[in-house]
Structure 1
Amino acid sequence: MSYAVAAALQTAIYDRLTGDAAVGGLVGDAVYDALPDGALPALYVILGAEDVRDASDKTGGGAEHRLVISVVTERAGFAAAKAVAAAVSDALVDADLTLTRGRLVALHFVKARALRVGTGSIRQINLTFNARVSDDA
């Protein structure tokens, strides 16, 4: 197994989302790897948790990354968050991302969960994706 491709995968996903016209049209530059200090916008995207498993085979090292990208909003209802979630999914599913290390073999949508957070004034959609990478280093 190799975890060495994780940073390259995260950077490529972040770059894809920040460079995507549809995502940008909905959230502007509010796509985060880490939340900034201060007030947050009413609608934003944040890269979240990741679970990685070995996917090496006789051709070389590899890993399967199960990663979560969240859409968070203070706006009433889920409509705005769902529009952003759809744009995020469209930007990533089967994307041909170039990594600085290794190679993306596949990137697929796994599931989504929409929920109210805390007292219900915050709405969040957690999108889970599965990325298969090989480490060609």
Structure 2
Amino acid sequence: MTMALSAPLQRALFERLTTAPELATLHGRIHDDAPHRSRDAGGEPYITLGDETISPWNTATDSGAAHEAVIRVYAPQRGFLAVKEIAAVIVALIEANPPKPERGVIVTHEFSGARTRREENGALRRIDLTFRFVIEDDA
């Protein structure tokens, strides 16, 4: 059952990000499969849905899964300011209004942390945002 909730969560996260008015300036730059090089992104910040770690979460009467989901923000420019500003918007959006998957019910959600990185010899900035979602299966 744990894997059955992963795809619905990913679709819900993607929908939440692509329909948020606060991220309208990134329209068309929120990806499931991102450009692999900063020059392919057109020099503008973009977002990807990243890695996910899933573990069983069951009670005596219910089954579900705990998901550690990563959302990545990239900026093909010097400095971390652009990615940090976008990251702050994403965290606020998800904390205030978590995604609603078509299968399962999110019973708890929290922002777990962030990590910044430099890639492509310093030409690309990245911040990984990790969220924890506990989802009870309603199927």
TM-score by length of 1: 0.91
Distance in 1, Cα, partners of 2:51 & 2:68: 8
Q: Which runs of 5+ in 1 are unaligned?
A: none
Same amino acid, percent of matched pairs:
32
Where do 1:101-120 residues align within 5 Å?
A: 101-120=103-122
2:9 alignment partner in structure 1 = 9
Partners of 1:94 and 1:107 within 8 A in 2: no
Check whether the contact 2:2–2:55 (CA below 8 A) recurs between aligned residues: no
| Equivalent-residue separation in structure 2 for 1:40 and 1:48 (angstroms) | 17
- CA positional deviation for 1:96: 4.0
More helix by share: 2
2: distance between equivalents of 1:18 and 1:91? Answer: 12
1:2-81 superposed matches below 5 A: 2-25=2-25, 27-35=26-34, 39-41=40-42, 42-81=44-83
* Other structure's SS at 2:78 match: coil
Number of matched pairs: 136
Q: Which segments of structure 1 move beyond 4 Å, counting only runs of 4 or more?
A: none
| Structure 1 residues 2-27: Cα deviation after superposition (integer angstroms, max 9, x where no partner) | 221111111111100001111223x2
For 1:10 and 1:50, the matched residues in 2 are separated by 9
Are residue 123 (structure 1) and residue 125 (structure 2) matched?
A: yes
* 2:2–2:56 CA contact under 8 A, matched in 1: yes
Q: Is the 8 A contact 1:89 1:109 kept in 2?
A: yes
Offset at 1:33? 0.9
Q: Which runs of 5+ in 2 are unaligned?
A: none
Whether contact under 8 Å (2:118, 2:126) holds in the other structure is yes
TM-score w.r.t. length of structure 2:
0.90
